[in-house]
Amino acid sequence: MALQGPEEVGEQVEEPEDLDDQDASSISPAEEITLPPGPGGEEEPEEAFLLPWDRFSSWLHCICVVGFDLELGQAVEVIYPHHSKLSEKEKTSICYLSFPDSNSGCLGDTQFCFRFRQGSNRKSSMGCFLENTDRDAPPCLKREQGHYYGYVYFRQVRDKSLKRGYFQKSLVLISKLPYVTFFHSLLKIMAPEYFEKQEPCLEAACNDIDRWPAPHPGRVLTLPIMGVVIKVRIPTCYDKPGTSQLVQSAQSDSLVSIVLPTIHEVDLFRCFYPVFFHIQMLWELVLLGEALVVMAPSPAESSETVLALVR
C-alpha cells in the first residue's frame, strides 16, 4: 500500500422518525441520551426538520456490493439507498480498492478500509447541518470534504461452479466519517446477514440507520441495527486524551448488545511493534510528507498501519 503525504492516505485506507413503527418493534428505535449541558451536549433543533434519508446521509453516503468476476471483471452490483449517486470514476475507485490485493489468499472473511477522492461538482443539501454536527469534533474526526472512506467486508470462499474457482464479493460502506472501529463493528453485524439473506437485509439496515440520531460529538447514542443495539459516544475536542466518557445507564443498557469504548482508534502498539526501532524515522517521514509503502501480512493490518501513521 502506498502512502503519499496528506493528499492520499493510501490505497487501503482511500425521516423523520415513524412514530407508529416504534411500538411495533421489540427493539426501540434509535434512542439519544444527551449529556448534561456543556460543550457538545446541547439539543440541536435542526434535527426536527430533517427530511427522509437525511439521518442516513449524516452517517453514510451509501452501501455498495462489489462483485468480482473472472470474465466481466469487478463491478458495483448494488447501491443502497437506490437514489444514492456515485460517478463512474468513484465506482471505479471503489471496485479497485475493495479487492484485497494480497498473496495470503484471504480465504474466508477479511475487513479493511481505504480512502478515495470524491467526484467534483457535488454539493450536499445538508451542508449547514453537518457543519454544526462537526463543530465540536476533534480535528481527526471531522468529515472529509474532498474524500470518502470505504469500509470493506470481503468474503472469499472456494466455489468450483465458478470459473474463477472462488466466490468473491465485498460489502462496502461509503462514508465521510473516519469512524474506523465503529464501521468495522457495524459491518460484522450487517455482512454475515447480507451474505445469507442478500438484498432485503440491506434495505432493512438502511431503514434502521435512517432512524438514528445524527452523530453529534459529546452524546452517547444507542443505535439499533438488524436486531442488535450498539452503544457509542462521539468524542469532542474538549475531551481529555486517554479518557473514556461513555456514560453507563442501567435504563438504556437493558437492550444494548454492544458497547464500543472507541469509534475510531486503532491499536498503535500492534501496528508499530514490528517496526518499533524505526518509529522515529517513520514519524519524520510522515511529518515531511514523504512517500511510504506499507507492506503487511494482511489487508487489515496494512490499512490499520496507514491510519496509525497519519493520526
Neighbours of 61 (CB within 10 A): 24
- Do the bridges between strand 228-233 and strand 258-259 make them parallel or antiparallel, or are there none, so unpaired? parallel
pLDDT > 50? residue 20: no
pLDDT at res. 126: 57
pLDDT > 60? residue 72: yes
Judge whether 292 and 285 are in contact, CB under 8 Å. Answer: yes
Mean pLDDT of 269-287: 88
State the pLDDT confidence band at 11, using cuts at 50, 70 and 90.
very low
- The set of residues, in sequence order, having a beta carbon less than 8 Å from that of 210 and lying 6+ positions away, is 15, 52, 53, 55, 56
| Model pTM score | 0.78
pLDDT at res. 105: 61
The packing angle between helices 299-310 and 279-287, to 10°, is 70
Ordered DSSP codes for 182-193: HHHHHHHHHHHH
Judge whether 229 and 189 are in contact, CB under 8 Å. Answer: no
pLDDT > 60? residue 38: no
pLDDT > 70? residue 248: no
